[in-house]
């Protein structure tokens, strides 16, 4: 098992007031993302637990791209990965932010 | 975590498919809106301590969601298995969450329990812990029933209700199942491995469903309600079954002993489910698998000797 | 131990236990004249619908007869019987019914005692040995939830690898020691000492009806999380009730 951690500065805080959201399932080719509104300021922290070791560069790129697109400031996203492809990961990260921003006007 | 802050994404409505829904979607749509409060939710990160040894990823809730909510205004305790994580199988933490929920039901005596089964049985990477967990769940479930609490099981997910899960189901006050549901101790592949493909071809889906699937289980009297594959149908069945739960006592068990003995006399020589259904009085047994839900439910309600309160 | 050796050692005052087709049924006299009812599976026989229904009948008869004598469950079984016919007829209900019968007897004050003297596995293990209030093991006890060859097929890991992994955890591999570390076993009656006095002592001890197996599993470092998780959920569910 490999654990990867990334910390970014997002452009804006995530909208809404929900404290927690969860998307996805740990199944083959899938992943779960637990998102919590606990990071300081506009920081975005992403932690990944995966059995597929050695893909750090790919995760790093996906996460950086996600931070730029979604501005998830103030969020910590924790991932349990079931061997998902990068596009599935990107989808779930975006879904996670939408879920925690659900009550935004 | 408060009831209004539930971490569910992508709500599924009441008309959504039970089979396609996740454990969390089933709970959210089954219960009264925004009434669910989870116990030891994913943010607690109580994961399996054993999967890492096998280089397998864990899930934050270990594939079991437990909590309290309202069903038509009435407080209920709910447990739902996520069939897509490790086949919904029972691991140490997964099982313990359900054990604790049932012990609470026993101690409170005032809240019924809904168990949303979706399981292949014991999680083999934690086989010993899973097995003990199942035994403890069965005991806690029966203690709750002995305290007058109804425990209703709902079966209709991708993983079915197999292995030790099927034994837990057999301890419930009542069961509802859909066409997609399967209920058996041994899975199709295991029977084929043990007895040969001539006795049981695990790839013959029609055979699997005739032997273990929802329609057969309804006609056999192994479950109490057959429902359409929608969350609304399961909700309606749950409401009915919660009201008519038999007591866990000697009278009920004597009645169950009698009905199971009768089943062996009536169907013990049948080679296939089609023979069982014919013997049970179904005029056109061959038409059963293709029958739509409403027609099948009407047929089942007319078929002799499957209505009982002995479970 | 053979079944006959086991019966002679447990019930020196006499018994009428018979074993046929792998089913063990009968009764025995305990010291002081009290009656013990006995059911079980012998000869490493798989437990199917036909066997389970006879065992549950015997348990329910014992319950109906009344009294406070124990019900002893002797176990040397295979797994559940794995056949088309057993599943067609609803094996899960038959096994659950046997468990329910044993648990109802327990709730009615009859001490149910499992004596594992051979093999047992999977659904048969749950419906017999694990459905008793006290489970003891005697020489020859050899339970398995799942056998390593099956695990090897499913996980695609070689048996040697699984055996190596089993050295670092009791959580998956077969054997009485691992099951004991899970908290399942009240006592291991080993050695050559006669079993009847040990049975009497266990009956006199009258252990609490409360299921303490998960706590025992934590104490024995076999199941570090189960007891705590169960208690936390129980407490949370009762809060505000």
**Domains, chain B, ranges and CATH?**
3-248+293-301 (3.90.226.10)
Assess whether pLDDT exceeds 80 at residue B306.
Answer: no
What pLDDT was estimated at residue C144? 94
Question: Out of B100, B136, B222, whose CB is closest to C233?
Answer: B100
Phi then psi dihedrals of residue C231, to 5 deg: -70, -40
What pLDDT was estimated at residue C241? 73
Assess whether pLDDT exceeds 50 at residue C219.
Answer: yes
Q: Give the rounded distance of the alpha carbon of C10 from its chain centre.
A: 16
What pLDDT was estimated at residue C191? 79
B34: left (phi over 0), alpha (psi -120 to 50) or beta: left
Q: How far apart are CA B129 and CA C173, in angstroms?
A: 10
Q: How far apart are CA C130 and CA C47, in angstroms?
A: 14
Interface list for chain A against chain B, based on CB atoms closer than 8 Å: 1, 18-23, 25-27, 30, 32, 34, 36, 49-51, 78, 80-82, 95-96, 98-99
Give pLDDT tens digits for C111-126.
999 999 999 999 999 9
Assess whether pLDDT exceeds 70 at residue C15.
Answer: yes
**CA-derived radius of gyration, chain A:** 13
Q: How far apart are CA B87 and CA B79, in angstroms?
A: 16
Whole-Å CA distances, B30 to B74, B99, B218: 13, 22, 22
Q: Tokens standing for B309? A: 């309160």
Domain that holds residue C235: 213-241
| Mean local confidence (pLDDT), B199-207 | 98
C236 and C197 both lie in a single domain: no
C183 and C232 both lie in a single domain: no
C217 and C111 both lie in a single domain: no
B66 touches chain C (CB under 8 A): yes
Assess whether pLDDT exceeds 50 at residue B6.
Answer: no
C86 and C24 both lie in a single domain: yes
What pLDDT was estimated at residue B13? 87
- Reported as a pLDDT band with limits 50, 70 and 90, residue C192 is confident
- Reported as a pLDDT band with limits 50, 70 and 90, residue C97 is very high
Phi then psi dihedrals of residue B130, to 5 deg: -65, -45
Question: Out of B58, B60, B85, whose CB is closest to A27?
Answer: B85
Assess whether pLDDT exceeds 80 at residue B279.
Answer: yes
Give pLDDT tens digits for A34-44.
999 999 999 99
| Mean local confidence (pLDDT), A53-65 | 97
Taken in order A98, A104, B5, B8, the sign of the CA dihedral is negative
CB A72 within 8 A of CB A10: yes
Task: Please provide the size of chain C in residues.
Answer: 241
Give pLDDT tens digits for B56-104.
999 999 999 999 999 999 999 999 999 999 999 999 999 999 999 999 9
DSSP state of B28: H
What pLDDT was estimated at residue B307? 58
C14 and C52 both lie in a single domain: yes
Question: Out of B39, B136, B220, whose CB is closest to C214?
Answer: B136
Q: Which of B122, B128, B252, B256 to mutate to test the interface with C (most CBs of C within 10 A)?
A: B128
Q: What is the mean pLDDT of chain C?
A: 96
| Mean local confidence (pLDDT), A62-73 | 97
Give pLDDT tens digits for C103-112.
999 999 999 9
What pLDDT was estimated at residue B305? 56
Assess whether pLDDT exceeds 50 at residue B1.
Answer: no
Query: With a cut of 0.90, is the ipTM above it?
Result: yes
Assess whether pLDDT exceeds 80 at residue B270.
Answer: yes
* pLDDT over 70, % of chain B: 95
Q: What is the mean pLDDT of chain A?
A: 97
Give pLDDT tens digits for C18-72.
999 999 999 999 988 999 999 999 999 999 999 999 999 999 999 999 999 999 9
Taken in order C229, C232, C236, C241, the sign of the CA dihedral is positive
C166: domain CATH number?
3.90.226.10
Q: Residues of A with CB below 8 A from B26's CB?
A: none
C146 and C160 both lie in a single domain: yes
- Reported as a pLDDT band with limits 50, 70 and 90, residue A25 is very high
Q: How far apart are CA B59 and CA B307, in angstroms?
A: 40
| List of residues 6+ apart from C223 with CB closer than 8 A | B92, B129, B132, C171, C182, C183, C214, C217
Q: Tokens standing for B27? A: 């709970």
Number of structural domains chain C divides into = 2
A81 to B57: CB separation less than 8 angstroms, yes or no: yes
What pLDDT was estimated at residue B3? 31
Hey, what's the torsion of the CAs at C218, B87, B127, B191, to 10 degrees? 160
C223 and C159 both lie in a single domain: no
Burial class (CB in 10 A: 0-12, 13-18, 19+), B268: middle
pTM of the model: 0.97
For residue B289, give the nearest of B209, B199, B202 by alpha carbon: B209
C48 and C150 both lie in a single domain: yes
What pLDDT was estimated at residue C32? 85
What pLDDT was estimated at residue C164? 96
Please, where are the H alpha helices in chain C?
3-10, 49-65, 84-88, 91-107, 122-127, 148-155, 159-165, 176-181, 195-205, 213-219, 226-238
């Amino acid at each position: 098992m490999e654990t990867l951690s990334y910390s970014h500065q997002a452009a804006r805080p995530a909208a809404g007031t929900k404290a927690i959201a969860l998307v996805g399932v740990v199944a083959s080719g899938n992943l779960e993302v637990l998102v919590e509104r606990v990071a300081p300021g506009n920081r975005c922290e992403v932690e990944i637990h995966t059995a597929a070791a050695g893909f750090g560069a790919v995760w790093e790129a996906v996460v950086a791209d996600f931070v730029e697109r979604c501005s998830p400031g103030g969020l910590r996203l924790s991932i349990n990965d079931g061997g998902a492809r990068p596009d599935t990961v990107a989808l779930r990260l975006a879904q996670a932010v939408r879920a925690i921003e659900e009550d935004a006007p | 975590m408060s009831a209004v802050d539930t971490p569910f994404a992508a709500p599924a409505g009441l008309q959504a498919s039970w089979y396609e829904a996740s454990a969390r979607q089933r709970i959210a749509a089954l219960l009264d809106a925004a009434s669910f409060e989870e116990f030891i939710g994913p943010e607690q990160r109580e994961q399996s301590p054993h999967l890492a040894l096998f280089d397998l990823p864990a899930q934050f809730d270990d594939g079991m969601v437990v909590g309290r909510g309202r069903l038509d205004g009435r407080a209920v305790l709910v447990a739902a298995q996520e069939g897509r994580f490790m086949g919904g199988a029972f691991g140490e933490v997964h099982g313990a969450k359900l054990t604790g929920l049932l012990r609470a039901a026993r101690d409170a005596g005032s809240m019924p329990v809904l168990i949303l089964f979706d399981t292949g049985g014991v999680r083999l990477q934690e086989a010993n812990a899973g097995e003990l967990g199942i035994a403890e769940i069965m005991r806690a479930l029966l203690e709750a029933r002995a305290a007058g609490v109804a425990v209703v099981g709902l079966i209709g997910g991708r993983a079915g209700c197999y292995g030790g899960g099927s034994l837990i189901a057999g301890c419930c006050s009542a069961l509802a199942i859909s066409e997609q549901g399967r209920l058996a101790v041994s899975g199709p592949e295991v029977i084929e491995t043990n007895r040969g493909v001539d006795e049981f071809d695990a790839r013959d889906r029609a055979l699997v469903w005739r032997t273990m699937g929802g329609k057969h289980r309804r006609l056999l009297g192994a479950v109490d309600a057959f429902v359409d594959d929608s969350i609304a149908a399961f909700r309606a069945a749950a409401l009915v079954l919660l009201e008519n739960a038999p007591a866990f006592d000697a009278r009920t068990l004597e009645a169950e002993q009698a009905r199971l003995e009768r089943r062996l006399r009536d169907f013990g020589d049948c080679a296939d489910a089609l023979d069982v259904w014919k013997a049970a009085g179904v005029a056109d047994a061959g038409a059963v698998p293709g029958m739509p839900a409403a027609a099948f439910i009407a047929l089942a309600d007319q078929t002799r000797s499957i209505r009982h309160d002995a479970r | 131990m053979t079944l006959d050796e086991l019966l002679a050692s447990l019930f020196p005052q006499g018994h009428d236990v018979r074993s046929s087709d792998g089913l063990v049924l009968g009764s025995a006299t305990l010291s002081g004249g009290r009656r013990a009812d006995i059911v079980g599976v012998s000869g490493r026989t798989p437990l199917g619908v036909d066997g389970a229904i006879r065992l549950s009948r015997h348990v329910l008869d014992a319950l109906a007869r009344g009294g406070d004598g124990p019900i002893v469950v002797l176990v040397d079984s295979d797994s559940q019987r794995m056949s088309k016919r057993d599943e067609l007829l609803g094996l899960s209900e038959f096994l659950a019914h046997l468990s329910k019968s044993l648990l109802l007897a327990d709730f009615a004050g009859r001490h149910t005692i499992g004596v594992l003297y051979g093999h047992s596995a999977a659904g048969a293990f749950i419906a017999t040995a694990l459905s008793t209030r006290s489970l003891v093991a005697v020489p020859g006890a050899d339970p398995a939830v799942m056998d390593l060859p099956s695990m090897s097929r499913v996980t695609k890991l070689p048996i040697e690898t699984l055996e190596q992994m089993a050295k670092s955890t009791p959580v998956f591999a077969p054997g009485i020691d691992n099951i004991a570390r899970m908290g399942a076993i009240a006592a291991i009656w080993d050695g050559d000492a006669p079993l009847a006095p040990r049975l009497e002592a266990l009956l006199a001890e009258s252990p609490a009806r409360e299921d303490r197996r998960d706590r025992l599993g934590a104490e024995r470092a076999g199941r570090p999380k189960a007891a705590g998780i169960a208690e936390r959920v129980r407490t949370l569910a009762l809060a505000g009730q």
